[in-house]
Amino acid sequence: MYNEKKEEWSESATQEYIDSLQPAPSPPSDIELLKQQNADLLQQLAESEKRTEEQSKTTAELVMLLTEKEVI
């Protein structure tokens, strides 16, 4: 809106209206989806490897304890 007294333009639309004019975000491309799935799978693999390592360590500790107690 133009204010003749001040000789300047000002916004008269509400923020909600301005936001409604913005185009909707496009859905992710197949490549972007595959990248995200790959990242998710790598995270799952890392967590699985960590759990496996912890289980191996626990098993080794248990075998050592059983050996010290002459159970095996």
Amino acid at 5: K
Containing structural domain, residue 55: 30-72
Low-confidence ranges of the chain (pLDDT < 50): none
Confidence at residue 20, expressed as pLDDT on a 0 to 100 scale: 93
Confidence at residue 71, expressed as pLDDT on a 0 to 100 scale: 85
Confidence at residue 67, expressed as pLDDT on a 0 to 100 scale: 94
- Write out pLDDT tens, residues 16-31: 999 999 999 999 999 9
Confidence at residue 72, expressed as pLDDT on a 0 to 100 scale: 80
Tell me whether residue 22 is in a domain.
no
Confidence at residue 63, expressed as pLDDT on a 0 to 100 scale: 96
Tell me whether residue 42 is in a domain.
yes
Burial annotation 32-68 (CB, 10 A radius, 16+ → b, else e): eeeeeeeeeeeeeeeeeeeeeeeeeeeeeeeeeeeee
Query: How many domains, the chain?
Result: 1
